[in-house]
Amino acid sequence: MIETSKLIDAITELDTLCSRLQTELDKAKDSMSGLQFENIALRGAESAALQELAAEKEKNRWIPVGEGPPEKVDWKRVVEAVEDCAKVPVFVTMEQIFMDEGSDFTHWRPIILPKE
């Protein structure tokens, strides 16, 4: 079982990496705003970076509980979740989100550890 502090550190690091990538993309767009893109390689690199960013955002998005659990669900899997009006996520199992009566969770997302 992974320690909660390690999970929080991993999630924080992943969020930081996503923010850095978005910042670098924004800088690149700003610096190139007046230029014509003649070089197909530059377009390909930008497209690949945008696709990578979109994939990271999708993997880390907050999923509304109303969408239901995934088709294949491990009910004991620990995920990040937020309750209505909460500002700080908590770590709970999928079972606690979807099976506990009176659950006030509104959104959840999987915990994805950064690649080593």
The pLDDT of residue 10 is: 80
Pair (74, 42) in one structural domain: no
If you ran DSSP here, which 8-state letter would residue 102 be given?
Answer: T
Report CA-CA distances (Å) from 56 to 18, 70, 107: 7, 18, 18
pLDDT in tens, 38-59: 555 566 677 888 888 888 888 8
Both 47 and 68 in one domain: the answer is no
Domain assignment of residue 9, yes or no: yes
Chain centre distance of CA 68: 18
90 shares a domain with 47: no
Q: Which domain holds residue 38?
A: 4-59
Domain count, the chain: 2
Chosen domain end from 40, 59, 78: 59
**Tens-place pLDDT, residues 65-78:** 999 998 999 999 99
Residues 84-105: tens digit of each pLDDT: 877 889 999 999 999 988 889 9
Which residues make Cβ contacts (< 8 Å) with residue 4, sequence separation at least 6? 91
Q: Are residues 9 and 54 in the same domain?
A: yes
Contact 74, 98 (CB under 8 A): no
Instruction: Tell me the percentage of the chain whose pLDDT exceeds 70.
Output: 87
User: What mean pLDDT comes out for the span 21-31?
Assistant: 80
CA 47/CA 41 separation, integer angstroms: 10
Residues 67, 96 within the same domain: yes
| φ, ψ (nearest 5 deg) of residue 64 | -60, 135
Does residue 115 belong to any structural domain of this protein? no
